[in-house]
A and B are shown apart, each in its own frame.
Chain A
Amino acid sequence: MEAQGQAAPASTGERLYRWLDARFGLGKLVGWARHKEVPVGGHSMVWYYLGGATLFFFTVQLASGVLLLMYYQAGEQTSYESIRYITTKVPFGWLIRSIHCWSAHLMIVSLVVHMFSTLMLKAYRRPRELTWLSGFVLFAIALGFGFSGYLLPWNELAFFATAVGTDSVKSVPVIGQWLLEVMRGGPDVTINTLYRFFALHVVILPLVMVGVVSTHLLFIQVQGMAPAMAHQPKARPGLKFFPDFILRDLLLWLVCLIALSVLVYLLPYGPGIPGMEWELGKKANPLAPAYPGIKPEWYFLWVYQLLKEFPAHLFGMEGPQAALLVVTVLMGIWALVPWLDRRAGKNQPSPMFTDLGIAAIVFMAYLMLKAWDIGGGSADHSKLPDPRSTAWTCSLITLGIGSAIALLRILAYKQRWMFFSGAALLQVVLNGVFGVDYLVAGAIAVLVVIAGLVLTLRKQPGATLEAPR
């Protein structure tokens, strides 16, 4: 960096860099970043940018959240009123609130796509198990953000969504009731609940999130991004992380900002889909009954519908308890995928876990569609939706989506392992088309999968579950 002979005088930026470099050794960091490479080839580069997009939306959340804090006042007589004041009186208040709401939903969307792409590409495989686990924790924190932020406007929707969401906690064995009261600040949802959720939303979760995001990024920087698997096409020379990849990442951030601006401007109160709208509505009244058509946020819809599908009692447990046990087991399996998928750990194809991801999509899509009461009757909730016609319509839509994915997998990717996604579709058909009870249909589908796997192994001794010969 030393100027020689007739070299032009250093610019301010260069002098600042030198000043910092002399004190903090920035040269080493830049040198390391220049040598770092992002693997190219094997699969599309698009999937590498989704984590960055999620980080962008999280940054927007922090910035817009701090701005909202300047006016928001938590309290029984002030929460709803201050949000109304922000959206109706404060200059550009509607814009800041809309950015906060839209960005929250887009953050979850990019996070979910990022998670599924990681699953499909087996990027979680050894030695990146902890990166997957920290990502799973981030997913859980993001859901916590959504849930706690939902109550802050203190409107009708917020009140009942929180009542249902927190009531589920009492199903936890031994400490359920204690946990419920700690969450709510009492046995019921009151203004004390809002105070607790406010603290959670603006202090506790952001601190935890920043810590876990830093850990997640540290893992990625130390280990690098996951290259394509051994059986995929040979990787070409990598892309330089700095400045090539960083610049592309920043370009995507710009695209995200433009998309966010357009959505905020065109649909300031959301797209109007139940679970994805933020009209303020009526103020919460703890003595009013829940109104027809009440729905949680879209990413909780599958759990909401599952709670509806379970009977009052199952295997000695109350319905909600059994439903939440199933959700916990499924989430546990999801978190432990890197350890369960041994073939990917050995850099071998693991079609079973690709199919697990597809089955999860089919399973959640059907429940979500049913939760929206698609095909069930009037949209204005003047009469109760008909569950049979809802199930019929939703099953046909899910069947269409599932078949399209299966065709794509067969034709484009030559994939054949479809036991799990086939079982998920079988449950959809049995429940939606033939009217079999949801849980009975699920049990039949599970039995068919087990029978199919056992028959495959018996026919072809020496074959494994994932790679039948």
Chain B
Amino acid sequence: MADQANRPRDEGRRDAERSVGQTPKRGREIAPALKFRDSALLSNDPSRAAKPERTVDMTAPVTQTSKPERRSVLNWFLGAGVLGWAASILYPTLRFLRPLSSVGTGGPLKLSAEELSILNKSHFVIARSGTRKVIVFEAGGQLHALDAKCTHEGCTVQFVPGDSLIWCACHNGKFDLDGRVLSGPPPRPLTKWVATREGDQVTLSMETA
């Protein structure tokens, strides 16, 4: 745009003269005016095609003066408007897509009677504490509890009583009874929980450092 504005006035005129009888290729600013005239020149009507000079005289001076600057400002506003419009659609959409954060219970968790019965039958049970899953298992007469979500790819782990280990079937990750990685690809240990039995009740709470 700026280049167009700085060009000498007669160069614009030459452009326009060259463009008589053909669609202009340079100088976007003169294009609309010339297009209209060109359509007359290119038409089959010889009486209309015989007046090319008037077209050139009318359009050439206009091209090189104030129009480019005004147009660039308008283009800038148009661009900013489109961006603002896109942002006003995108932002609420992205906020809408992200779910509200759900908060865990925070306090200690008591196993239900059903969960206790599964624990006694299968040697382990998986309970939910807020958004987290905890595996509770009995080994060597002691009650243990660990995060049930494998640290590798998030599968739910299980207790293998025969081998006294915690195993993730998805990618063969193995942890010891304290949640430390024994083998396989899990990058971190499982978080330890405190499981306490009082009479018929089992309570789980986060281990404090």
Contacts and interface: CB of A to CB of B under 8 A. Distances in A.
Whether chains A and B associate is yes
A275 interface: no
Contact of B99 (A168, A185, A307, A310): A185
Interface stretch (A289-297, A339-347, A396-404): A289-297
Interface stretch (A101-109, A139-147, A159-167, A413-421): A159-167
Nearest to A184: B99
Contacts of B126: 287-289
Given A288-B126, A289-B156, A290-B168, A320 B185 contact: yes
A186 B102 contact: yes
B169 interface: yes
Nearest to A196: B97
Counting contact residues on chain A (CB < 8 A from B), the size range is 35 or more
B84 interface: no
Contacts of B172: 308, 384, 387
Contacts of A292: 169
Contacts of A294: 155, 169-170
B26 interface: no
Interface stretch (B3-11, B46-54, B127-135): B127-135
Given A287-B126, A294-B169, A384-B172, A320 B187 contact: yes
A163 B186 contact: no
A319 B155 contact: no
Nearest to A318: B187
Interface in B149-178: 152-158, 168-172
A286 interface: yes
A135 B155 CA distance: 33
B149 to A, nearest CB: 8
B121 interface: no
Contact of B181 (A188, A310, A312): A312
B161 to A, nearest CB: 13
Interface in A290-324: 290-294, 304, 307-313, 318-320
Contacts of A192: 99
A378 to B, nearest CB: 15
B47 to A, nearest CB: 33
B185 A160 contact: no
A27 interface: no
B186 A286 contact: no
Given A164-B153, A164-B155, A308-B171, A319 B131 contact: no
Given A188-B131, A288-B126, A308-B184, 5 more contacts: A166-B154, A289-B148, A290-B156, A318-B188, A320-B152
Contacts of B154: 163-164, 166-167
Given A288-B126, A294-B169, A320 B97 contact: no
Contacts of A182: 97-99
13 contacts: A164-B171, A168-B153, A181-B98, A286-B128, A287-B127, A287-B156, A289-B135, A290-B170, A294-B169, A307-B185, A308-B172, A308-B184, A384-B172
A188 B102 CA distance: 11
Contact of B187 (A181, A188, A288, A312): A312
A163 B127 CA distance: 18
Interface of B: 97-99, 102, 126-128, 131, 133, 135, 148, 152-158, 168-172, 181, 184-188
**Residue picked from B127, B156, B170, most chain A C-beta under 10 Å:** B170
Contacts of A320: 152-153, 185, 187
Interface of A: 160, 163-164, 166-168, 178, 181-182, 185-188, 192, 286-294, 304, 307-313, 318-320, 384, 387
A359 to B, nearest CB: 24
Contacts of B133: 188, 286-287
A319 B185 contact: yes
Contact of A308 (B99, B155, B185): B185
Contacts, number: 91
A181 B99 contact: yes
B98 to A, nearest CB: 6
Contact of B131 (A166, A187, A313): A187
Nearest to B168: A290
A93 B66 CA distance: 71
Given A289-B126, A292-B169, A307 B187 contact: no
A105 to B, nearest CB: 22
Which 8 pairs show the lowest CB-CB distances between chains A and B? A289-B158, A167-B154, A318-B187, A312-B187, A290-B169, A290-B155, A164-B153, A287-B126
Contacts of A312: 181, 185-188
A240 to B, nearest CB: 37
B163 to A, nearest CB: 9
A163 B185 contact: no
B204 to A, nearest CB: 14
A140 to B, nearest CB: 20
Interface centre among B98, B135, B185, B186 (most CB of A within 10 A): B185
Contacts of B188: 312, 318
Contact of B155 (A160, A185, A187, A309): A160
A86 B98 CA distance: 33
Nearest to B154: A167
A308 B185 CA distance: 6
A320 B157 CA distance: 17
A163 B131 CA distance: 15
A312 B133 CA distance: 22
A177 B158 CA distance: 25
Contacts of B156: 160, 163, 286-290
A319 B187 contact: yes
A163 B128 contact: no
Contacts of B168: 290
Contacts of A291: 169
